[in-house]
Amino acid sequence: MMNTSRIVVALGGNAIQSGDATAASQQKALKSTAKQLTSLVEAGHEVVLSHGNGPQVGNVLIQQAEADSLATPAMPLDTCGAMTQGMIGYWMQNAFTDVFFERNINKGVVTVVTRVLVDEKDPSFQNPTKPIGPFYTEEEVIARQASDPDAHYKEDAGRGWRRAVASPRPKAVLEASAIQELLSAGELVISGGGGGVPVILKNGRLQGVEAVIDKDFASEMIAEMVDADILMILTAVDQVSLNFNSPDEIKLKEMTIQDCEDYINNGHFAPGSMLPKIEAATAFVRSKPGRKAIIASLHDIDLALQGHSGTLIYDAKDVVTPIR
C-alpha cells in the first residue's frame, strides 16, 4: 500500500504551452497535464501545484505596451504577474475539475493568488539581469529610457533588446497559512504561479515591485512553509545529467545534497536552466530531516515517485525509504 505524502509540484512551462499561445491550445495542454497529475490525488497525496508563467506574462506585457495610452495605461509588471496567476489558475481549475468529474473524484480545486515577500536590498535590484517582455530595437530603447530613466534594458542573444528586471530570492510566502488551511480541508491548491507576485515591506505597507522571482525558489519556499514531505520539480528532461547534451553525458538516478554541492562548485549545471532547480531541491532537503526532492519529467511522474525515473535528491544522513 502506498504511503501518502504532502507534495509540492513545480510545473515547467511545457505543462502549459508548447508553441501555440492561443487560450484554447494552452487549456488543451493543461487538460493533459491534469490527467497525469491526478494520479497523485487518486493515491491520496496532498498536493500543492505551482507553475511558470514566462510566455504568458511576456504576452501580457506586449499587449500592455501596444495598447498603452491615456485611456488604457499599461499596467506594471507586478500587476501583470497577478493577471497571469489568475488566468492560468482558472484554466488549471477547469482542467482538474473536468478530470475529477470523469474519474468520480470528490475534491475541490482552489487557486491562491500568491504574494511573495522579497528584500528591497536584495543585490539583484542593483543588477537587473532577468529579460522579460517584447524585443526592441536600440533606437526604441533609447526613446523608452528617455521617458523612463529607471528602466533597464539588455541585449538578448542578438535578437534585440529586452527589458531587464531583478530576480530577488524569496523571503516568505504571505499566503502560506491559507494554503495550509486549504490543504487540511482536502483541496487541491494552485499557488505561487510564476514565482508569485514580488512585494516589499516599505514604511509598514506592502508594495509590489518590478521583479520576477524564480519559480523553483518560490516553490521551495512554499514547500517549506506548508511542511511538505516532497518537492517535485517537473521539467522537460527525464533525469538530471552531468555533461548534458554531450557524448559523455551521465544521467543521475539519485544525488545526495553533498553531491549536489560538489557538482555546483564544479560548474556542471547551467544558470537559468538546471542550476536553480538543483539549488531549490538542495535547500528543501536540507531544511528538515527526512525531506526529499525529485526532478523528473511530467510524463514520468508515477515512475518518478516509485523511484524508476527522474533524479532523487536526499540527505546522506537520512535513511532513504521508497516513496511508494
Phi-psi region of 36 (alpha: psi -120 to 50; beta: other; left: phi over 0): alpha
Hey, what's the cell of 238? 527525464
Instruction: Report, as residue numbers or ranges, the catalytic residues.
Output: 13-14, 130, 215, 277
d(CA 90, CA 145): 36
Is the pLDDT at 1 greater than 60? The verdict is: no
Where are the chain's structural domains? 14-27+44-120+168-214+226-314
Q: Of all residues in the chain, what percent carry a pLDDT higher than 90?
A: 69
The CATH number of 14-27+44-120+168-214+226-314 is: 3.40.1160.10
Backbone angles phi and psi of 38, in degrees to 5: -65, -20
Q: For residue 324, name the pLDDT band (cuts at 50, 70, 90).
A: very low
- What is the arithmetic mean of pLDDT over 169-190? 96
**Residue scoring higher pLDDT (53 or 14):** 53
Confidence of residue 65 (pLDDT cuts 50, 70, 90): confident
Kindly indicate the confidence band of residue 273, based on its pLDDT and cuts at 50, 70 and 90: confident
Q: Is the pLDDT score of 31 beyond 50?
A: yes
Longest dimension (CA), the chain: 65
Q: What is the pLDDT of residue 61?
A: 87
